[in-house]
Structure 1
Amino acid sequence: MSSFTREIVCRTSPYSTCGCCLDGCRLEITSVARVCVSSNAACPGDDRSRFEVRPVSDRVINTKRLSERHGAAPPVCSNHCAPNDNSWCARRDHALPDLVPYVPGIDPDTATRFHSRDSPATCGGIQSLLFIYCAVNRPAVIQQAESALASGTRVPDPECLWLSLSVLLYSDKFAEVTLHCERILRTGGRALPRRSVQIAGLVRARARALRGHCLDAAAELQDLLDGGLPAGLRGVAVAWLLEALAGAGETQQANQLLLGDRFGPIDELPDQAHIHAARGAVQWADGRYEQSLAEYLTAGRILADLRVANSAIVAWRSRAALAAVTIGRTELALALAEDELAIARRWGAPGAVGAALRALGLARRDSHSTHVLERAVELLQLADARYELVPALCDLARLHVENAEPIRARTVLVTAIEYAVASGNRAWLEQANALLPLVSERRKSPKLTRQEQKITRLALEGLANKDIAETMFLTIRTVEFHLSNVYRKLGISGRSELRDAISPAECA
């Protein structure tokens, strides 16, 4: 074994060529070994490096102070780094235990039997999960999961099935997850263990909730819990049920579930990070933002202790940031949103990046916020993550209203309403409809000068700028200047939106 020491400093980039770290974390490589992910054998040509992590930048130090002051979990600097090629091998941290202490949805007694190098029963899922924890190797873990779930092979063992479906879920592959689950459920019956059928139903319900069908997902999750899920899955299932109910606006039912012990005392269920985050979602939907923030930060502390950096497991940072913004704790919100974005970009799932950008845009509230939220909406649409998308569209509409851009706000709200109707989500529909009067009020009586009115009327008649200039004996540049003023006053971007923004009668 050779040994050497060299330093890599990540200041503004969420990753480096040799080591993966959050902003401002210095990775000091102290020794090198070799290991292969796909088997227990040595893997020539790929390094496994052991790291010591030391914060060096002011931003990270200040964020740590912020965390201590506001009670947030400190940023988790992941010590794992991906190889420079697409092989299955990767470096691992010396602090990574041989026995994995935490696997979501699997009771601790079973989880402690899992070795970080995997076994045939887990089909590469443990290594994939560890990569997800530190937000690296997303293409590789997706490939591994798809290989395990390939339709030409038999349905894998329950542990392998759960891990592979979870990997796709955490990677924003909601459509693929749904197809795999439905194929497994069609097989069903005596051909599969009962637990495999339960796992497929559970993951399908979660994918439905994340794609906006919260009521359908809640009903499915309720049936699964009533039918008796294994103890290890019960905590995740209850948490996902609570979040589905919160997303559907069914906060009364969610609070009854929190107060009762229908599925056992809620504080004694496994996967408490998921439970606390679900409580935060319910309290957010109920308008109890201080309590929501506290629950999300508690979830973050639990995950930090478990060395889980990636919010694909539980999106606590972005949602805590939203709660912090709402109650005026902007400094904390900004720190959380920036950390979330760094990790989400390293992981590369569009939904995760979109959710982080939404939180960042609202936390910053500067001249770039609208652009940041527009990008967030694009990525959430790409992921079909409607659970986050519709609220983000409403946030974007509010920004357009504040910026006196009523036509853009109306366009965004129409999109939000279409998604809400398609999802059958009454709470989202009410949220979007509540903003429509603000758009209507801002649209009344645009104050155009007489010259602007004449030019606008001719533009509405279909005349080009050159023809308007000839008709009014003006230069083309003057026409363009007046039209740009009209677009600004009406809150539109150009001619394509002009007819919807003002009628010819208003230009008479």
Structure 2
Amino acid sequence: MTTAHGDSSREPQPDGPDPEPVERERELALLGELTRRTAAGDPGLVMLEGPDGIGKSSLLRALVATARAQGLRVVHTRAGRQDHRLPLSTIRDLLAGLDVESMPPVTWPERPGPSGPDAQVPWPADVDGADVPFDVLGELQEIVRSAAANGPLAIVVDDAEEADAASLRFLAHGARRMAGLPVLMALTRRSGTHVPALNEVAALPLCRVLRPRPLTGAGIGLLARRLLGTETDAAFHASCLAATNGNPLMVTRLLTALREEQLPLTADRFTSVSEQDIPAFRVRAARLLHRHPEATVRAARALAVLGDEVSPETGARLALLDSAVFARSLLALVFLGLVTSNADGTWSFAHTLLRNVVLGEMSEEERDTAHGRAARLLHDAGASAAEVAEHLRQAPSTTHQSWARTVLREAAREAMLRASPMRAMQLLRPCVPEGTEEDCDPSLLVELGVAESRIDPEASVRHLSTALDRATGPELRLQALRSLAEALTRQGQVARAVGLLTRYRTETAVPLSGTADPQLVEARLLMAATGNRSAFTELLEAVSFDLSLPGDTPEERALLAARAAVSVTRLDRVAEAVAAARAVIGRGTATNDAPLFLATAASVLLYADLPHEAECSYQRLLEGTDALLDQTYPSLLALSAEAHQRLGSLDPALRATAAALKDVTVSRASRYEALPLAVRLHALLDRGDLAQAILLEKEIPDPVPDDSWQWNEVLCARGRLHLDTKDHERALAVLKECARRQAEWQRISPAVSPWWYWAGHAHLALGDQGAAAALAEEAVTGARSAGLPCALGSGLELWAAASDGERPLLLEEAEQVLMGTRAALVRARVRVARGKALQRLGYTKDARAVLRQGWEEAYDVGSRSLYTVAHRALLATGARPRRPVSRGLGALTQSESQVARLAASGRSNAWIAESLYVTQRTVEVHLTSVYRKLGLSGRRQLRDVLESEGIDNSEHEQ
């Protein structure tokens, strides 16, 4: 036996050339060669083996055409037809086309009932014709010999495995006796079929077993061009290949379905596939599946219901099949190209589209029943609650059972721990069908209401109100009351929420701690109100903002942090707010205090123009927060990025925003992604990457989805972008809208948002110095009174730009104010402005010194735009500056580089000091310089930077 194309992989054979685009040229060449040899008088035997749709019949048709062109007589039949049920019926049909002179008589075996070729009486089930006498086989073989004596002959049988047993016996008999006959016998059979007679044929030395391989991506492109008359790209070809496993029939049906439904021929068509995506393809592919035995269909349905990585044991139990039968069915599905095996012994559908083919042809009732059975099987086998719950969600008829509700609630609690309230809500809602709230467990209603609070506040209020009315236990009542107050606040019903808070204080006459403490409830109300402007405004008039709390308990610290955050944004008692925030951070611990309120305290420092202090707090929180399980982690990343951006550490700011926006679709961003979007825009503009900023801004929703304060920051960044693109009028309009919204939120501190700074420059660009000066004067007044150095420095710079005579003095004061801060970019911007002012007044030498310093600082922080401005101004003074090397690894001194490598290898400062014979203070100074030059915030990022530059630390780890 000779096997051609024995590997069904899409990859080329290791010892052969790359496959042709459609991978049929080799097969056609082999068939053509066999036909030519038979025409010359040699025998030939070929068996085409493969799954349905791989192209066996097409190859047979090509063989028939070639044989006739070569002068061969061709007899051709397809086994398994309705009239091929009786013994030797396939051979009768095959040889009926031979008109052989002096054909010897054939003694056909008799069958029960009326005789004659037209008799319609079926044979009994136990009579299969396998015991046809040998002399009958000999007579049939003599017919073939007689026909071959008159000229070369081709005997072609498609779907040979469907032939009756007697016909199969004759095919094997004739194949063994082809020596010396100019006869070409060509058979096809489906992969995975076990037919002894065909196995015997395939094992003969003369037989060539041809296994057509799937199409390649290039072959799919060629087929698409032939079928559709259009060119398609490689990405589309790859998507088609993944969806069909390269099965030519499946590819053809898919392409035809796309054409019929006038769907775009792009890879995007396959990125999000739903059950109703390509109905025409689903119908065609389901028809192909149903050509297989019922067991194969049941196995496919079981795999489709269970999803990815299905174990054979679970699949067989769900399909109600014996393990051996299920294994054979899996093999048939593999040959068909529907499923693939995984390295761990499990099975999966090759593509979501193929899985949806099977699910789509199941009725809703069948899917419900199957998912319910799958859930129970997995539950009894010890699967996780999340895995079982996924099936219960799709089996509504099962969720009324007590075990199912227990699983759904457990999975919902896990989802809440992983900061996925949407999933928790989806899991819990089937447990509370519409109209059954009064009969449900109150604790279940509370869990559902909490999950709904940020997604569907109206439903949350309804469910929590019902739970509060029906709850009897004090702990559950307090939990329901507290959650309801938060939900009402988010919905804007502040009066009712405050009334509940008063009621809450009454019901908790006995001092409580933890989540039941009234102070913590009030803190949560304040935080909940930050998502609703009208609720926020109303709540400010209803609660106290006493900042004299000692902060001895986690509950006191939470309330203190929330009050301080509101105060600092309103420019109210900023110094007291800073002291309160420092007390919260200093006394709070990761084990006792919620990260939300510790982050809120750090934000007080950020809005008080202490970005370095805030960033240190954010970093400690990030290091102690689970990135996967804590819902505050993305917010911490965004706030940390803003602190970096204010400090002028642009690379860390961009890295943090990228992490915060990971897996986020910008066009569908919510208010929780608005802040990192705004910070990223600012950081890109600070760096001078205008093109990237424009691309990002185009993806952001316009107008913004709601009036939450986070979107105000996006408006500010968007206005600044318009200013940089010279669209001054549009910039001013956007910034004025930002100003209006900030005032409504009472976020009036100039250190909260820089909208006023960019609005002032928009006024200047439009020639309105008075309006710019008014904005600057208001910012300077507020910043002076509250002790906000960064805002004061920026305000003085804007005031200088809007004035004529006092410009150098204002800029000099701004520079002095900023000397005590770490806001490197703001300081560099002021220095460049002062240097240009001195140059205009004729103080060239002084201007050169100031500009050089600002030029180097702009280079240090990585602001290409400011660096370019400073460089041009410096050249105008007559200077010829060399390119500064004060940033990056090249800027490190030998000592700094040595300390950086040791620190990156995990050594402590004390160990490094002892190893290098220096003081710990010297090590700290070196590391501070390293972090500044590399734009890092700490030791954790140092190893990544050194490794990315290909620097090995192993030599320092001895």
Q: Does 1:144 align with 2:597?
A: no
1:215 touches 1:425 (CA, 8 Å); kept in 2? no
2:527 touches 2:562 (CA, 8 Å); kept in 1? no
Q: Does 1:436 align with 2:857?
A: no
Name 1:255's counterpart in structure 2.
694
Q: 1:262-321, CA deviations, whole angstroms, 9 ceiling, x for partnerless residues?
A: xx5661154332121111221233333333222222211111222332122212223212
Q: Does 1:154 align with 2:590?
A: yes
Q: Does 1:226 align with 2:662?
A: yes
Instruction: Tell me which of 422, 427, 430 is aligned to 2:865.
Output: 427
Q: CA deviation at 1:110?
A: 9.2
Q: Which letter maps to 1:281?
A: R
Name 2:770's counterpart in structure 1.
331
Q: Distance in 2 between matches of 1:319 and 1:102?
A: 30
Structure 2 alignment gaps of length 5 or more: 1-501, 503-524, 546-554, 881-958
Q: 1:321-378, CA deviations, whole angstroms, 9 ceiling, x for partnerless residues?
A: 2221233111111111111111111221111111111111111121x21010111122
Name 1:18's counterpart in structure 2.
none
Structure 1 alignment gaps of length 5 or more: 1-39, 41-98, 443-508
1:107 touches 1:232 (CA, 8 Å); kept in 2? no
Q: Distance in 1 between matches of 2:844 and 2:616?
A: 40
Q: Distance in 2 between matches of 1:101 and 1:160?
A: 9
Name 2:807's counterpart in structure 1.
369
TM-score in terms of structure 2 length: 0.33
Cα pair distance change 1:249/1:305, threshold 3 Å: same
Q: Distance in 2 between matches of 1:102 and 1:285?
A: 36
Cα pair distance change 1:296/1:381, threshold 3 Å: farther
- For 1:328, what is the secondary structure of its paired residue? coil
Q: Which letter maps to 1:154?
A: A
Q: Does 1:163 align with 2:600?
A: yes
Instruction: Tell me which of 606, 610, 613 is aligned to 1:173.
Output: 610
Cα pair distance change 1:293/1:416, threshold 3 Å: same
Q: CA deviation at 1:409?
A: 1.1
Q: Which letter maps to 2:696?
A: L
Q: Distance in 2 between matches of 1:208 and 1:422?
A: 14
2:588 touches 2:598 (CA, 8 Å); kept in 1? no
Name 1:135's counterpart in structure 2.
571
Q: What percentage of residue pairs aligned between the two structures are identical?
A: 21
Q: CA deviation at 1:221?
A: 0.3
Cα pair distance change 1:427/1:238, threshold 3 Å: same
Q: Distance in 1 between matches of 2:810 and 2:572?
A: 24
TM alignment of 1:177-326, pairs within 5 A: 177-189=614-626, 193-228=629-664, 231-261=670-700, 267-268=704-705, 270-271=708-709, 272-326=711-765
Cα pair distance change 1:364/1:218, threshold 3 Å: same
Cα pair distance change 1:356/1:315, threshold 3 Å: same
Q: Which letter maps to 2:793?
A: G
Name 1:357's counterpart in structure 2.
796
Q: Does 1:389 align with 2:831?
A: no
Q: Which letter maps to 1:363?
A: A
Cα pair distance change 1:217/1:266, threshold 3 Å: farther
2:529 touches 2:535 (CA, 8 Å); kept in 1? no
- For 1:417, what is the secondary structure of its paired residue? helix
Q: Distance in 1 between matches of 2:744 and 2:664?
A: 30
Q: CA deviation at 1:399?
A: 0.5
- For 2:820, what is the secondary structure of its paired residue? helix
1:397 touches 1:410 (CA, 8 Å); kept in 2? yes
Q: CA deviation at 1:107?
A: 6.3
Q: Distance in 2 between matches of 1:331 and 1:423?
A: 32
1:158 touches 1:199 (CA, 8 Å); kept in 2? no
The structure with the larger Rg is 2
Q: Distance in 1 between matches of 2:828 and 2:529?
A: 31
Q: CA deviation at 1:113?
A: 7.9
Q: CA deviation at 1:224?
A: 0.9
Tell me which of the two structures has the higher relative contact order, counting C-alpha pairs closer than 8 angstroms and 6 or more residues apart.
1
- For 1:437, what is the secondary structure of its paired residue? helix
Cα pair distance change 1:121/1:304, threshold 3 Å: same
1:245 touches 1:253 (CA, 8 Å); kept in 2? yes
Q: Distance in 2 between matches of 1:130 and 1:207?
A: 18
Task: Kindly tell me the number of residue pairs found equivalent between the two proteins.
Answer: 341
Q: Which letter maps to 2:808?
A: T
1:357 touches 1:375 (CA, 8 Å); kept in 2? yes
Q: Distance in 1 between matches of 2:831 and 2:732?
A: 22
Q: Distance in 1 between matches of 2:785 and 2:814?
A: 16
- For 1:429, what is the secondary structure of its paired residue? helix
Q: Which letter maps to 1:431?
A: V
2:578 touches 2:604 (CA, 8 Å); kept in 1? yes
Q: Distance in 2 between matches of 1:228 and 1:391?
A: 33
Q: Does 1:401 align with 2:839?
A: yes
Name 2:453's counterpart in structure 1.
none
177-186 vs 227-236, greater mean Cα deviation? 227-236
Cα pair distance change 1:235/1:109, threshold 3 Å: farther
2:599 touches 2:621 (CA, 8 Å); kept in 1? no
Q: Distance in 1 between matches of 2:672 and 2:580?
A: 23
Q: Distance in 2 between matches of 1:151 and 1:266?
A: 42
Q: Distance in 2 between matches of 1:170 and 1:330?
A: 28
2:848 touches 2:879 (CA, 8 Å); kept in 1? no
1:135 touches 1:346 (CA, 8 Å); kept in 2? no
Cα pair distance change 1:194/1:236, threshold 3 Å: same
Q: CA deviation at 1:421?
A: 2.2
Cα pair distance change 1:284/1:393, threshold 3 Å: farther
2:763 touches 2:769 (CA, 8 Å); kept in 1? yes
2:641 touches 2:653 (CA, 8 Å); kept in 1? yes
Q: 1:232-265, CA deviations, whole angstroms, 9 ceiling, x for partnerless residues?
A: 432222111111111111121111122114xx56
Cα pair distance change 1:103/1:121, threshold 3 Å: farther
Q: Distance in 2 between matches of 1:251 and 1:215?
A: 15
2:852 touches 2:874 (CA, 8 Å); kept in 1? no
